Amino acid sequence: MTAEPPDEQRRSRMRMPQLPGVGGLHPDGLIIDEVSEQFDRTRRILTQSPEDAAEAVLAKLGPEAEAEARIAAGLEDRTPLADPDAFPEAHRATIHALEILDREGSREPKVPRFGPLTAVAETLVEFVADYLVKSYASDVVGRLRKQYAVREAQCEPGTPERRMLARARIEVEHVSPGFGGGWAGAPVLIVGGLALPVLASLSNQLGAIDFTNRRIMLGGLFALFLLAIGLSSAMVRGAAVARRRSRMIMQEALDDLWAAMGNAGNPPEDDSVQFASIAVLVTALLWFVVPAAAAVIFVVL
């Protein structure tokens, strides 16, 4: 095979990368690949009908090997229950775990001693943990209700598996009203946050506090900062309590139940990590926002 001349090799290296529309769309491509793809989509929309352009874009998306292998395995396995003998006991153990989670998931969390504020801190931590635990229990019950119904519909009529799943589904539907989720507590936090500026405005209008005074503004800013730090700490600690207890109470029972059903994906997980991440992010932002606000007060007033 004849080697390319040096000039040709140099020109080859200087060529622009091939458009994804020609060589395929690579998920690990560079930003220039995505820009080229966007340009190619725009060109197709201008030169073809939107439907043809959309079809071309969808056709260029490469196969997802891992996801498609998982889907193929799921379609091939049509067994409604992987272990029918273990399913009844695993189902009962899960319902029992839900009862324990509802009773002990957020009860009397351990908090540091803050003197007269210890009771307040314990109430806040328990409030956050209760919100997360109830939301998690609601997710579990909803997932069970849906999973049992789908598996029941896949069973042949009159089979033992269908009777087991029907009984389990009915039992979950009976207990599901008691696991309505923890969303009722969220509006309390929102209303409380909105009430602060409203009360401040009313107090200013009534002349009780002069909010145009620099010292009062800085003092109020510092007080709000301490309040936000306290709330963030309560959110993180409450999330930790909810996560520890949810895993301790539910994980083994759910693992056994999911193994008995087979090919059901992963069991539900609580939202403690996401909740704590938001609290940590808010705290980090406060360390930038509060000094900036204090600087503005010094400059303006």
Q: Does residue 13 have a pLDDT over 80?
A: no
Average pLDDT, whole number, for the chain?
76
Whether residue 32 lies inside any domain: the answer is yes
Alpha carbons 237 and 15: distance in angstroms, whole number: 56
Whether residue 67 lies inside any domain: the answer is no
Across residues 26-53, what is the average pLDDT? 62
Alpha carbons 109 and 186: distance in angstroms, whole number: 20
pLDDT in tens, 89-119: 999 999 999 999 999 999 989 887 877 878 8
Same domain membership, residue 153 and residue 269: yes
Please give the structure tokens belonging to residue 224. 């709000």
Sign of the alpha-carbon dihedral angle for 134, 135, 140, 144: positive
> What is the residue range of 123's domain?
79-180+189-300
pLDDT in tens, 116-139: 878 888 888 999 999 999 999 999
Same domain membership, residue 273 and residue 126: yes
Same domain membership, residue 44 and residue 172: no
Query: DSSP assignment of 155-215, as one string?
Result: SPTT-HHHHHHHHHHHHHHHHGGG---SGGGHHHHHHHHHHHHHHHHHHHHHTSS-TTSHH
pLDDT at 19: 37
Q: Does residue 280 have a pLDDT over 90?
A: no
Whether residue 154 lies inside any domain: the answer is yes
More confident residue, 258 or 71: 258
Same domain membership, residue 144 and residue 51: no
Please state the domain count of the chain.
Answer: 2
Whether residue 4 lies inside any domain: the answer is no
Whether residue 70 lies inside any domain: the answer is no
Give the confidence band of 195 by pLDDT, cuts at 50, 70, 90. Answer: very low
Count the neighbouring beta carbons within 10 Å of the beta carbon of residue 270.
22
Whether residue 222 lies inside any domain: the answer is yes
Percent of the chain with pLDDT over 70: 62
pLDDT at 135: 94
Give the confidence band of 168 by pLDDT, cuts at 50, 70, 90. Answer: very high
Q: Does residue 17 have a pLDDT over 60?
A: no
pLDDT at 289: 73
Q: Does residue 20 have a pLDDT over 70?
A: no
Whether residue 112 lies inside any domain: the answer is yes
Q: Does residue 11 have a pLDDT over 50?
A: no
Q: Does residue 190 have a pLDDT over 50?
A: no
Q: How large is the angle between the packed helices 160-175 and 118-154, nearest 10 degrees?
A: 150
Same domain membership, residue 171 and residue 83: yes
Same domain membership, residue 295 and residue 265: yes
Whether residue 71 lies inside any domain: the answer is no
Query: DSSP assignment of 241-291, as one string?
Result: HHHHHHHHHHHHHHHHHHHHH-S--PPP--SHHHHHHHHHHHHHHHHHHHH
Same domain membership, residue 85 and residue 51: no
Same domain membership, residue 175 and residue 41: no
Same domain membership, residue 58 and residue 98: no
Q: Does residue 262 have a pLDDT over 80?
A: yes
**Cβ–Cβ under 8 Å, residues 136 and 246:** yes
| Choice among 9-18, 54-63, 152-161 with the minimum mean pLDDT | 9-18
pLDDT in tens, 218-260: 677 677 777 777 788 888 899 999 999 999 999 999 999 999 9
pLDDT at 223: 74
pTM reported for the whole predicted model:
0.68
Q: Does residue 300 have a pLDDT over 80?
A: no
Same domain membership, residue 280 and residue 141: yes
Same domain membership, residue 155 and residue 89: yes
Same domain membership, residue 235 and residue 152: yes
